[in-house]
Structure 1
Amino acid sequence: MKNNKRKVIGLVALAGLGIALSGCGSKDSSAANLSSEEDTLETIIEKAKKEGEVASVGMPDTWANWIGTWQDIEKAYGLTHVDTDMSSAEELAKFESEGTSGTADIGDVGISFGPLAESKELTLPYKTSYWDEIPDWAKDDNGDWLLSYTGTISFLTDTNNVKKAPESWADLLSGDYKVSVGDVTTANQAQFAVLAAAVANNGDEKKIEPGLAYFKKLAEQGRLSSVDASVANLEKGEVDVAIVWDFNGLNYRDQIDAKRFTVNVPNDGSVTSGYTTIINKNAPHPNAAKLTREYILSDEGQINLARGYARPIREVELPAEVAEKLLPDSAYQAAVPVKDNAAWDKTSVDLPELWQSEVLAYAK
């Protein structure tokens, strides 16, 4: 119910409240500053101000324009921020290994890692005041995880290295260039690349074999590249074609040279999924983490993500200059959302071992 959101002042007004509260308390944690399920948004803001900082993992400045959100949060609420970039699997491992001595507050992980984190009892639930506007498929029942944005697997091509950018998986397979897919054993983006290849070859969340068979062919051709598709490596021309989320590809393209790089959603099949925030059950700054999730789901936060080429999970009106940065809807005609998250959760657990035995074992 949207009225639930309106029972507290909107985030824009709350920003002013946050500034007004800037003199309240120190950054030290105290019993009065602990997180409570009964806290109103106003109380969360007040406690977050006292905590004074938020530590994230897997939410670097260059990914989906997180920098815009961190800058807004610091300006509005005075929260300083630090991030440690890592994969989804590494984020969960960090939460689990540190236990009650947790050093991270909030992380951003692929959708399959949200239920996994919940099952391991690593998460602090928080629904946000925008809960009812988030599709049912994009959240759990208690707020342990909920998607902030969606992405679609795409091809990023350096046209200095590749004469004709691939527009399909068939094109990619018939090429003579190297293909960077990332680390399928740990990275959510890379795992979805395998699923997208499976979807394009009559597979699905339960039937991942066609995707593995596809990459086995690339491995046998000696075309799988171990070079990470980072901005630095792309700038140096060390990546021919990278399989990435559309928002990453578009971001890299515009950061480096929009005329040099092209981004194509494969027209013979791709997959759309998303990323969810997870709040560490043992977060040192739990209220700052809750406030961060709250802001991410606000109109301003969703527009920030769109500025980073990610497609918001909520229906928000995007400024024209932001909407123009995204690919047109027609580019996504062959992309399908994950139909069976439970099946994909199980497949993604088995995928690292399958990748090692069915693909990397054949690499030249």
Structure 2
Amino acid sequence: MKEYYADLHIHIGRTRSGRAVKITGAKTLTFSNVLQVASERKGLDLIGIIDCHSPEIIEEIEAGILDGEIMEKTEGGLQYKNTTIIPGSEIEIYDHNCNGPIHVLAYFPTLKAMKEFSSWMSGHVKNITLSSQRIYCDGRTLQKIVKSLGGLFIPAHVFTPFKSLYGKGVRSSLTEVFDPELIDAIELGLSSDTEMVKDIEELDSYVFVTNSDAHSLGKIAREYQKVLLEEPSFNELAKALKETGNRKVTVNYGLNPLLGKYHQTVCSGCLQQVLRDSEQCPECGNNSIIKGVSARIEELSVSGMDRRDGKERPPYIHQVPLDFIPGLGPKSMEKLLVGFGTEMNILHEVTLEQLMEIVPEKLAVYIDSARKGTLSFEVGGGGKYGKVKKELT
């Protein structure tokens, strides 16, 4: 078996004809550009493209198969050069048991299964061409449909204050909306990590995945994981999420939660940090408070004598994406890619000394500090990302 790099949450911004799929996604975030960047620039082995239900994207995949650029794999998934694509969909649930909308991810082994899901979903959403559309059915029904097509079901960015399982969706337990037996993994999201959520007992049985939720090409692989598989395929991924036959997630790579957009509790008006239980901003008097991910996790956690032993987790590496590093502009990035091939090579294979042969020493040290998790940050919240401080510690 071998370890592979996987980012399982990448959006499509526009179709080949220019039609919007993810409205908030970049226009350059097309299916063909995602494949090229993920494979050749980022160096990812396994990617989940989660807008493949859109009919025009299905047509683009079929055209790629016809042209010989894409091949369907016997173990599930689609092969493009050195990268396996797992076709998927992000869906918004808002059934009668929800306090607010919940985003979930569904993945399918074949294009045929994806087409069947798209056909079914077209009768339950207003616009099948768009990403993350609200589906008019309950959570358990959606789970059963996904499973009937051989799919994987994963709640997305589960602590985000908006449109997530714990952010607004449920009061205290996922069982309010979902059948826990039909959940394959939990996506943590950018504002949390393994250590933060270790005391949420109902998550003990699930593998955690860390994905980019990329809305632009540059954000692909800002979070990802290393998975141990026989080969990068749908069936092998499914085994890793269940940790069967020695397949597993071996490392999660993610942002330090302080960089996440929703880490701390803030006033929605002036974005000043406020206390968790505040009802009014002391700075501007605004009554609209956005509860941070860290505060919500504290509410859900069990600690002390009441906590049973949790699941043993793989390492969670706080790794700052290259895009976040001060002073690393397009020219320097291009030099690094010419010298070392892919971002995965830059982040995992290249020594500090090799970096200094390509870029100035200060920038090389920044990159090395970023991958070691030793940079310091300004905290994010209220929809505003945190920042890497310019001074090295």
TM-score, structure 1 as length reference: 0.29
| TM-score w.r.t. length of structure 2 | 0.27
